[in-house]
Amino acid sequence: MGLRLKYNIVLLLACLLGMVGATTLSYVVVRKSAVEDIHQSIDLIHGNALAVRSYTVDNITPLLSDDNDILFLPESVVSFATRTIFDTFQKQFPEFGYKEAVLDPTNPADRPNAFEAEMIGQFRDDPSLEKVTKVVDTDEGRFLTVAFPITITQQGCLACHSTPEAAPPTMVDLYGPDNGFGWRLGETIGAQVISAPMSVANKRAMETVAVLIAGFAVIFLLVFIMTNLLLSRIVLRPVRLISETARKVSLGDFSVPEYSKPGKDEISSLATSLNLMRRSLERAMSMIDV
């Protein structure tokens, strides 16, 4: 096995190990950063939902309350307003999901599933919780799900949810008197559940890894070419010439010119030593001939 082959094998192994280590580390770091970005996006969606809920209670509901005796308008309901605005948002960002899950909802569509009910239970058991984060496996893949408590903090919310008698008759006629009542001020009655697929983070990490692999491949190719050129010029060619000179001198051919390499590196030192040995051998042979 020649020196060039040995060198290239070592170089290849070193580059492969470096590439695997760097891409693995990059994947972990980029994926973590992507998950943090998803959390920030979810926080923004939650902040926007809170603003919509507050605006609806303070501004929209009072304007439409006088008409509730004639016709119930869902635009006066905070969950309807929030969901409607999110539906528009979701057209541009379909990867995000939003639901206002309530334990005893007026609208049956807002009833929580088992997983959502569990998170609502956590908020009710521990009022200090600001949010609950979980990764959920579904048939559609893994989802990062963050839940925020829905707590009755405004008296205006009880106008429709205290008792059936106090609620607008048109709302009771539409949904019935059995659900969505008995809420109390300060009570956590549900959760805003916002989700995003983990595939978003995985995709970003894989894209970064692909770019790194391509970059490493280009760098390795350049290093491979440049180091092989330097290896040939600085090491292999001088060693080959020194070896050929030594072979001829060992056969008694002193007509071959001395090989000298400028510099103070190991190859230059080897060439100088060979020349000294050759001169000593040549003098010894001349003495024998005499």
Looking at per-residue pLDDT, the higher value among 256 and 121 belongs to 121
Which tens digits make up the pLDDT trace of 58-109?
777 666 665 555 556 666 677 778 888 888 888 888 888 888 888 888 777 7
Q: What is the pLDDT of residues 123-163, one digit of tens each?
A: 999 988 889 998 888 777 788 899 999 888 777 666 667 77
The 10 Å CB-count burial string (b at 16+, else e) for 28-40 is eebbeebbeebee
Tell me, what's the pLDDT at 69? 55
Residue 193 has a pLDDT of: 92
d(CA 170, CA 157): 17
Read off the pLDDT of residues 34-62 as tens digits, 9 standing for 90 and up. Answer: 888 888 888 888 888 888 877 877 777 66
Give mean pLDDT, residues 253-278.
75
Residue 85, pLDDT score: 85
Chain mean pLDDT for the chain: 80
pLDDT number for residue 74: 66
Q: What is the pLDDT of residue 72?
A: 64
Shortest CA distance to 213 belongs to which of 23, 31, 30?
Answer: 23
Orientation angle between helical segments 3-55 and 78-92, nearest 10 degrees: 150
Q: What is the pLDDT of residue 64?
A: 61
- Residue 75: its pLDDT value, please? 66
Write the class of the CATH domain 207-289: mainly alpha
Domain boundaries, the chain: 7-197, 207-289
pTM, two decimals, is 0.65
